Structure 1
Amino acid sequence: MKCLLLLFAVLISSVIHTRAADRPNIIFLLSDDQTIGAVGCYGNKDVITPHLDKLANDGMRFANHYDTTAICMASRCTLLTGLYEYRHGCNFEHGDLERRFFANSYAVKLREAGYFTGFAGKIGFLLQGEKLEAFEKEFDVWAGGPGQTFYETAKNDGIAKYAAQYPHCSRAYGAWAQDFLKTAKTSGKPFCMSISFKAPHMPYTPDPIDLKLYESKKEFTRPANYGVENGKHLSAQVHTSRAATSYREWVNDYDGTARLYYALITGVDAAVGMIREELERQGLAGNTVIIFTSDNGYNSGSHGFGDKVIPYEEGSKAPLLIYDPRLPKAHAVKVCEAVTASVDMAATIFALSDVPAPAGIDGKNLLPLLTNPAGQVREFLPLFNFWGIPTAQSLAVVTREWKYIYWYSASDGMKPTDELFHLGNDRLEMANVANDPHYAKDLAVMQKAYDTELAEIASKVVTGHGYEAYPKLFDRSLPWDQKAPLITPAMGAGEGGAANRKRKETPQ
């Protein structure tokens, strides 16, 4: 009997070991403020991104990927937890992340399931009532930093030892990743490595190595909807946002700003190359899935807007590249048109790792799309801006063909505004057809989807973080006099124009 029990224990151990060995390694790479068009493989001929282009060529490029909240703090919590902002409750003005939500993040759950985990770069938020140091014990290797972190490597404690060889942080994170991969290999466990680059976030201070690549280029291609004249047809509300009133470098000096922005992205690209080279050296490339995306897009002068936050395409869409080397080469060089989102990252990582996702998360597993790029994982996707000046807050729903945006504010003589864009024919959002009778049925469909999403918010909104008023504020049927009293002084406390710019850049 004892022999049988021993044999059974050996078999079980063997099965568990085999299953662990079969689980892929996962690398999650996040840039900061990189719009979807700022990568060569998305058609941009000005930016230099050979390693990201190769990653897309080896795997899949997603053409309609959105950050459901296009601002870093909330977006990063959404990426980790797979929850929409109104459910995890973390954003500027709304408060820090509750530990109960972080406990269900992919980073924590994968480590509990036997993954060797590491994090480097900008974490972008804090746990409620705790200091930054609380994160260190949640990872096997920690090199995260406070606030926005720094472009100067020496100022970031987690990567300062690389400063002599790599004084700019982007390549330093690449060097940190190379060391992490060596350590992870010796652990004997599958690993999950997450890096959140500072680049290309402001202030635009690229590595001189990368800036030199652009020094001979005098003019950069402007977006087809570039300039304030291409934003006059948009809502009065959006023109009160900081995207319209601040961040004017993209309008006043597009060529100079684009040069710095693209050079920063080239630095991130170089780090991606360093990581892939080390995977090959360590014999890990064949079983390591790589995901690359950004925490939000960037308007870069489109419609005359700078910054992100607002729900138009350039500010809310980011690149998404996924490479799974275990798939047959027939699935490489594919483009997926499905609507995907930041909220899907955690669900996808859980599926890759074979770790059960927490019940009730909002994200969708994108793995089926890797072998069926013509498929879809959802019909509608909500986009939120529950932050900043109240007049510019919005709620939207988007599909492959349509986007509907509702601006609730009627202060300062404005009227609540519907916007409807036929993205299938008008990706640049140059024609608001909400009042065109020809599109009345399409408007009704999108408004119904909007109302469905609003009902979800009302039934699932987290309490204690200042979101309770939003189901009424965004109710299309309620008159303004019932909404106005719901707006509190705390709303928009972090918003403002150029006078608040210096203060705001530290947290955002």
Structure 2
Amino acid sequence: MLSCKTQDKPNILWITIEDTSPQFIGCYGNESASTPVIDKLADEGIRFTNAFSTGTVCAASRSTIITGVRTFKMGTGHQRSQYPIPDDIKGFPYYLKQLGYYTTNNSKTDYNIANEKDFIKEAWDESSNKATWKNREKGQPFFSVFNFAESHQSRTMSWTFEQYEKHVWDHLPEEDKIADDAFDIPPFYNDTPEMRKQFARVYNSIKLTDNRIGELLQKLEDDGLKDDTIIFFYADHGEGIPRAKTTGINLGYRVPFVVWFPEKFKHLSPWKIGKSTEDLISFEDLGPTMISLLGGEVPDYMNGINFFSDNSKENNKRLLLSTDRVDNGLDLVRSVTDGRFLYSRNFMPFVPEARYIHYLEIADITKHMRKDLNHNKLNAFQSRIFDERPYEVLYDIENDIWEEHNLAENPNYKSVLEDMRQFMDSTLLASKDVLFMTEYSMVNISETQKAYAYRLDDTKYNFKEIYRVASLSGKKGAEVTKTQIDLLKSNDDMVRYWASIGLMSQDKSLLEPYEKELNEALQDEYPPVAITISAMLYKKFKSKSSIEILDNFAKSDNWTLALMSINYMLYFQDRAPFEPTIEALLKNENLNWHVKSACLDFMQSQELRKAI
């Protein structure tokens, strides 16, 4: 395998787009999509069919892209969190600068870390919405990123239709506009004229994105640089629609990914030009690949592969993927894929796929879905995404692209299921996933320590035991229930927390014999346990004492505790006792924005229920 060390150094252009699944790109088989620029790159380059974001939302995904370190090692998996990371972990463009590259970023950063300004300054020569390759020294190679927001979730669903028209529709020539009846709608949506009106936003937003990419490539050619530049194109995670972005399934993780080589550098490609490859790659691999390709030494803390190497296929046979809190929506999902199947373990299965996240709830498409649900207009598949999830799912993502059929209990796939479980268990245990810690504790420890190092100290963070208990979550039965009740006496706060999380999924009849133990747990000195047990007792038994506890924590000055309490309230059938508290909180002008988002979701959904 040739290296750039002995060749003229190529320029590198990264074209990143937002919130897009390959199912909506022409070169990935969608004949309704209009993406000629992307399709041409793929026809002349290499199209990856098994490229995966390591997360399902932008900030968490970019954290891994820029550092080459997984979020569950650094604690950077929660959207809009800013915890400190080790000083020696740098943005990978820093290492390209040491190789003589001029590094530019136009313009999104959003890396989900503390001290982001210093981090950005060290990584990039330019980082702004005006950054370009033009300011480099004569003859200096460049690494330039251009991020296009035209396909972002704001355009595809969350902005008002009028804003979408202003920022997307009105920028498309008439011949480029895609009509409401010009595509197939995914089967997990009710196929109505109103849903088609909303879903057409996806196709038109991607069409505008394709046009913008064409304009950038023309600038590259006009500057006489295309013949010296390797081009990468990819999206930051799955489509910005309900049940894709933010959701721990294939629709949230899989991304379009293309690499284009000029004639001068085709010898660097281990793949046949103009073809597709099934090689598994993830965002953990991007930094190491760039550093290796351009002749640098990959730092030890980066564990991804150089997917340009000849043995990359052997090194990446399976990928571990993850999703955690997104804005106000709590969750913890870990997934494994081999490209053919995707296995997801839902550690909070009582939260549905369509969980309350304010940026999704304000969208007309979500409002229509919830309205149709309440009027019994959805079929079983369409309504299922609002139900509690199985604790594990297995999808054949090659033959079931919309992930309708869960194969986890199908005996024909037992060996696949067990293989993926084992890979997930061994990988997480080796990594000591720090995001199994509550965010309440993460905030506390981050004041004096970095989560990256904290997780490695077994005396502080006994992940082996924590994971053993967390792995019971979602499993039902008398024996599991008794084990979880007994674990409420553990000396480890995190063990008790995961025992309480597991009890959320147990049937009322299995919990009734443990009334004494559960009432004692209401007074647990670790707040996340008291909150979770209160939520469980209210949900299962309408416990009056739980109302007061949840109300008090919802009013807490600690935003993590307030958010946890209100999130539980969102999934109660009877929320009336909590409505005065939520109304009072919304009058607080200084309310944490995650907490405010949860309160707004509470009130909006209450109004929808009352209207029904």
Instruction: Report the TM range for the smaller structure's normalisation.
Output: 0.7 to 0.9
Deviation at 1:216, TM superposition (A): 6.2
Q: Which amino acid aligns with 1:401?
A: R
What does residue 217 of structure 1 align with?
179
What does residue 485 of structure 1 align with?
497
Give a deviation string over 1:55-86, Cα, whole Å, max 9, x none: 11111111121111111111011111111111
What does residue 323 of structure 2 align with?
385
> How many correspondences in the alignment?
423
- The one of 284, 288, 297 equivalent to 2:238 is 297
Give a deviation string over 1:59-116, Cα, whole Å, max 9, x none: 1111121111111111011111111111232244673264646853222111122111
> Structure 1 residues 390 and 59, CA, compared in 2 at 3 Å: closer, same or farther?
same
CA–CA separation in structure 2 for the residues paired with 1:501 and 1:213 = 42
Secondary structure, counterpart of 1:405 in structure 2: strand
How do 1:311-330 residues align onto structure 2 when only pairs under 5 Å count?
311-325=248-262, 326-327=265-266
CA–CA separation in structure 2 for the residues paired with 1:501 and 1:62 = 41
Contact (CA 8 Å) 1:339, 1:376: kept in 2 or not?
A: no
What does residue 380 of structure 2 align with?
none
CA–CA separation in structure 1 for the residues paired with 2:599 and 2:192 = 15
Q: Which amino acid aligns with 1:343?
A: E
Give a deviation string over 1:286-324, Cα, whole Å, max 9, x none: 221111111110264xxxx34512122222111111112
Give a deviation string over 1:234-288, Cα, whole Å, max 9, x none: xxxxxxxxxxxxxxxx988433233333333233322322332233333322221
CA–CA separation in structure 1 for the residues paired with 2:41 and 2:341 = 29
Bigger shift: residues 315-324 or 454-463: 454-463
Q: Which amino acid aligns with 1:499?
A: L
Contact (CA 8 Å) 2:152, 2:240: kept in 1 or not?
A: no
Contact (CA 8 Å) 2:59, 2:112: kept in 1 or not?
A: no
What does residue 14 of structure 2 align with?
28
What does residue 200 of structure 1 align with?
151
> Structure 1 residues 47 and 189, CA, compared in 2 at 3 Å: closer, same or farther?
same
What does residue 75 of structure 1 align with?
61
Please, what TM-score do these two structures have when normalized by structure 1?
0.72
Deviation at 1:191, TM superposition (A): 0.7
Please, what TM-score do these two structures have when normalized by structure 2?
0.61
What does residue 246 of structure 2 align with?
309
- The one of 322, 339, 343 equivalent to 1:404 is 343
Q: Which amino acid aligns with 2:101?
A: Y
Contact (CA 8 Å) 1:298, 1:307: kept in 2 or not?
A: yes
1:361 aligns with 2:356: no
How do 1:45-56 residues align onto structure 2 when only pairs under 5 Å count?
45-56=31-42
CA–CA separation in structure 2 for the residues paired with 1:20 and 1:501 = 61
How do 1:255-270 residues align onto structure 2 when only pairs under 5 Å count?
255-270=196-211
What does residue 409 of structure 2 align with?
435
Deviation at 1:429, TM superposition (A): 2.2
Percent of pairs with identical residues: 20
What does residue 422 of structure 1 align with?
396
Higher-Rg structure is: 2
Deviation at 1:379, TM superposition (A): 1.5
Give a deviation string over 1:314-359, Cα, whole Å, max 9, x none: 2211111111221169922211112221221112211221121111
What does residue 155 of structure 1 align with?
none
Contact (CA 8 Å) 2:76, 2:113: kept in 1 or not?
A: no
CA–CA separation in structure 2 for the residues paired with 1:382 and 1:357 = 21
Q: Which amino acid aligns with 2:125?
A: D
How do 1:107-118 residues align onto structure 2 when only pairs under 5 Å count?
107-118=93-104
Contact (CA 8 Å) 1:120, 1:194: kept in 2 or not?
A: yes
CA–CA separation in structure 1 for the residues paired with 2:350 and 2:391 = 12
Contact (CA 8 Å) 1:61, 1:321: kept in 2 or not?
A: yes
> Structure 1 residues 289 and 377, CA, compared in 2 at 3 Å: closer, same or farther?
farther
Secondary structure, counterpart of 1:203 in structure 2: helix
What does residue 127 of structure 2 align with?
142
Deviation at 1:383, TM superposition (A): 1.5
1:182 aligns with 2:144: no
CA–CA separation in structure 1 for the residues paired with 2:229 and 2:340 = 34
Q: Which amino acid aligns with 1:402?
A: F
CA–CA separation in structure 1 for the residues paired with 2:244 and 2:398 = 25
Secondary structure, counterpart of 1:218 in structure 2: coil
* Higher normalized helix content (fraction of residues): 2
CA–CA separation in structure 1 for the residues paired with 2:433 and 2:17 = 33
Give a deviation string over 1:163-220, Cα, whole Å, max 9, x none: xxxxxxxxxxxxx6xxx23333x43211110122222113213342326444462314
- The one of 600, 609, 612 equivalent to 1:499 is 600
CA–CA separation in structure 2 for the residues paired with 1:96 and 1:47 = 37
Q: Which amino acid aligns with 1:437?
A: P
Q: Which amino acid aligns with 2:188?
A: Y
Bigger shift: residues 430-439 or 53-62: 430-439
Contact (CA 8 Å) 1:210, 1:264: kept in 2 or not?
A: no
Q: Which amino acid aligns with 1:141?
A: E
Contact (CA 8 Å) 1:116, 1:187: kept in 2 or not?
A: no
CA–CA separation in structure 1 for the residues paired with 2:64 and 2:227 = 29
Q: Which amino acid aligns with 2:120?
A: F
1:64 aligns with 2:59: no
Q: Which amino acid aligns with 1:316?
A: Y
Contact (CA 8 Å) 2:433, 2:463: kept in 1 or not?
A: no
Bigger shift: residues 61-70 or 481-490: 481-490
CA–CA separation in structure 2 for the residues paired with 1:126 and 1:441 = 37
What's the Cα RMSD here?
A: 3.7
CA–CA separation in structure 2 for the residues paired with 1:70 and 1:339 = 17
> Structure 1 residues 190 and 423, CA, compared in 2 at 3 Å: closer, same or farther?
same
Contact (CA 8 Å) 2:320, 2:336: kept in 1 or not?
A: yes
> Structure 1 residues 255 and 497, CA, compared in 2 at 3 Å: closer, same or farther?
farther
CA–CA separation in structure 2 for the residues paired with 1:139 and 1:385 = 28
> Structure 1 residues 366 and 438, CA, compared in 2 at 3 Å: closer, same or farther?
same
Contact (CA 8 Å) 1:120, 1:142: kept in 2 or not?
A: yes
Deviation at 1:452, TM superposition (A): 1.1
What does residue 125 of structure 1 align with?
111
Secondary structure, counterpart of 2:432 in structure 1: helix
- The unaligned stretches of length 5 or more in structure 2 are 156-163, 352-386, 456-460, 474-479, 488-494, 502-527, 532-559, 565-593, 605-612
